[in-house]
Amino acid sequence: MGFGINNRLSRIIKPKTGKTVMLAVDHGYFQGPTTGLRDLKKTVTPLIPHTDCLFITRGMVRNCIDPRSDVSVCLRVSGGPSILGELSNEDITTSLEEAIRLNAAGVGMSIFVGAPNEDRTIANLGRLVSEAERYGMPVLAVTAIGREMARDARYLSLACRIAAEIGARFVKTYYCEDFYKVVEGCPVPIVMAGGKKIPEMDALQMTANAIKEGASGVDMGRNIFQSDNPVGMIKAIRAIVHKGATVDEAFEIYSKK
Ligand code: R5P
pLDDT digits (tens, 9 = 90+) for 26-46: 999 999 999 999 999 999 999
Domain borders along the chain are: 3-255
Provide the pLDDT for residue 150: 80
For ligand 1, atom 2, which residue shows the shortest CA distance? 144
As its CATH architecture, domain 3-255 has Alpha-Beta Barrel (3.20)
Strand partners, 78: 92
Q: Label the pairing between strands 78-79 and 20-24.
A: unpaired
> Residue 209: which pLDDT band, with cuts at 50, 70 and 90?
very high
Provide the pLDDT for residue 87: 93
Closest CA to 95 of 67, 63, 137, 66: 137
174 lines ligand 1 (CB under 6 A): no
Provide the pLDDT for residue 133: 98
220 lines ligand 1 (CB under 6 A): yes
Spatial separation of the C-alpha atoms in residues 62 and 185, rounded to whole Å: 37
Q: Looking at the annotation, which residues are catalytic?
A: 172
